[in-house]
Chains A and B, each alone.
Chain A
Amino acid sequence: MIRVAELTKRFGPTVAVDRVSFEIERGEVVGFLGPNGAGKTTTIRVLTGYHPATSGRAEVAGFDVQRQSLEVRQNIGYLPQEVPIYPDLRVVEYLRYRAELKGVPARERRGAVSRAMAKAGIEDVARRLVGHVSHGYRQRVGLADALVADPQILILDEPTSGLDPNQRRRVKQVVRDLAAEHTILFSSHILGEVQDVSSRVIVIHRGTVRADGPPADLVARSTRAQLRVTARCTAEQLRAWVEELPGVVGATLAAHGEQPASLRCDLEPGADPTTALGDRLQAAGVAVHELRLELPTLEEYFYAITDGQDQQLDGDAREGAA
């Protein structure tokens, strides 16, 4: 449904998006993840026909965004990051106007607006002036706008930004409900949201795609799994045992002082030496206080790749991510 190939967008000397490529198939819910200023909004704006690309190609619903912009726009529902709405119209008036603009036939318009308002949960403010509703409601008015023409593809740019936890949960639920019938690309810099809602994540940083895949796969691919071990023996002894194990690439002292010794070991991707180490310690008759495999979270993975360090991070960075 969405195909992006070698897309580049420059603003003067600044390269906002640098040879980005990805594809999104029908029915996928894809989280577009990246820190602020990563190039998410710029990519989305190219896809929606708001900005022209400097080079590369982008297709949405089989139409080229540059040459068939109108057809592209007919097939998408777009929620911009900052929902700018005419403050002097009532919510229902605004949505009727948008429905008409999007070509919803007159006799279906009332129903389409009601359905969109129900999905976004804004029926109680239908008669209020848009300028008078809270930020959270305005965000959902924008969501209702994106939904009103029942487009095949939804592009939501930070749909939960500035919302309180309850509103955020509601929006996430809406996105989940919509997943059955729509292809959704939604951007966020909040990992929990992406993990909760999307079946696939594209991580973008400094204008380039750093990772693309299901959240669990991305995490598993990370080099950042760690083993924590605390045992009643000397640190040197423990380190010697640990470093003999396959899959361990380094160990650092987690706590200084006498016994028990505590180490944090970095592991190769997919390695799990927990059982081997347990057996070894048991054979040596050493009392084990703690032996734990710490799988990296998406957050840590995100931190690692967006900090420009695709390899292992040191312990300080790990704490910084927490």
Chain B
Amino acid sequence: MSGTLTTLKKELLSYAVSPVSWIIAVLFYLVRGFELYAAALGFAIYRADPNQFPGATYGAGSTFYMVLLVPGILTMRCFAEERRTGSIETLMTAPIRDVEVVVGKWLAAAVFFAILWLPSVLVLHVLEYGPYFDADISFGPVFAAYLGMFLLSGMLLAFGCFASSLTENVLLAAILTMLFTGLLTQASEFLAQYAGALRESYYVRELLAKLDVYGNFSNWFARGLVDTSQVAFYVGGIGFFLFLTWTSLTSRRLA
């Protein structure tokens, strides 16, 4: 456990001093800030219900940028860079369990990702005042939406760690993660076309529903609804990809 914490601290420090993190943050805040401003202005002009606002903003381009592109960029260096520079040798020969390394690195990526997102909650709070809504926004749906986003991103970050453990080419690791993300967003629709009679099966239907990232967001999380089966699906996905990462890492110790 202490190994996880040590790795977490070190990785967070690395994120904090990496120019890539700052470029991601600046781009995100610029685009997100502009989008929220434009959307809030639209809501104010048309006197729309402010409580619809958080849900409406999840379709914004910056959300896709953050959820679909950023996990690959954040995690590409996790193991690929260590393999490329050879520092994996000092890491693997230190008295720390492989699982602690994997969890520490993933956790650092997840915490850093959360830190990037949190200021956008503050923006919502600012919008509660005039001249925008001049009304209280219900933060329940906001919480649910953020939870959904973090769960999905957590799974993508876990996949990113796995992709990064497969290669020493950081770019390839990032591309693999983005490809996976792209496939995941299309998988439900694509598989449904070929499922045929299997769609009659309850389990197949459920699996397709859970895989439907957009559906999960627009029908559930963005409306403030948290379905425990969806939470379990994403948490399971995180566990699954972290397990694969651990397997990939620890396989070099096995004869």
Contacts and interface: CB of A to CB of B under 8 A. Distances in A.
Interface in A68-103: 69-70, 73-74, 76, 78, 80, 82, 84-86, 88-89, 93, 97-98, 100-103
Interface string A165-190: 00000000000000000000000000
B254 interface: yes
Interface string A212-231: 00000000000000000000
A260 interface: no
Interface string B13-27: 110011000000000
Given A89-B13, A93-B13, A48 B87 contact: no
A97 B6 contact: yes
B13 A49 contact: no
A113 interface: no
Interface stretch (B60-68, B93-101, B115-123, B144-152): B93-101
Contacts of A70: 95, 97
B31 interface: no
B226 interface: no
B255 A89 contact: no
Contact of B90 (A49, A76, A93, A145): A145
B3 interface: yes
Contacts of A97: 6, 9-10
B219 interface: no
Contact of A53 (B2, B10, B13, B255): B255
A89 B13 CA distance: 8
Interface residues of A, number: 31
Given A80-B90, A84-B85, A84-B87, A52 B6 contact: no
**In terms of DSSP, what is the predominant structure of the interface of chain A?**
loop
Nearest to B255: A52
B6 A73 contact: no
A97 B7 CA distance: 8
A54 B255 CA distance: 6
Nearest to A129: B17
24 contacts: A45-B89, A49-B253, A50-B89, A50-B92, A51-B252, A66-B255, A70-B95, A73-B95, A73-B96, A80-B89, A80-B90, A80-B93, A82-B86, A84-B90, A85-B87, A86-B14, A89-B13, A93-B13, A98-B94, A101-B96, A102-B95, A103-B95, A142-B90, A145-B90
Interface of B: 2-3, 6-7, 9-10, 13-14, 17-18, 85-90, 92-97, 252-255
Contacts of B3: 101
Given A97-B6, A101-B6, A101-B96, A69 B90 contact: no
A22 to B, nearest CB: 20
A231 B7 CA distance: 73
Contacts of A145: 90
Contacts of A74: 95
A86 B87 contact: yes
A234 B253 CA distance: 67
Given A52-B252, A142-B90, 4 more contacts: A73-B96, A76-B93, A97-B6, A100-B2
A84 B91 CA distance: 10
Contacts of A98: 90, 94
B37 to A, nearest CB: 34
A176 to B, nearest CB: 24
B96 to A, nearest CB: 6
B86 A89 contact: no
A103 B95 CA distance: 8
Contacts of B93: 48-50, 73, 76, 78, 80
A76 B92 CA distance: 13
Contacts of A50: 89, 92-93, 252-253
Given A98-B94, A103-B2, A103-B95, A52 B253 contact: yes
A73 B94 contact: yes
Contact of B86 (A48, A53, A84, A88): A84
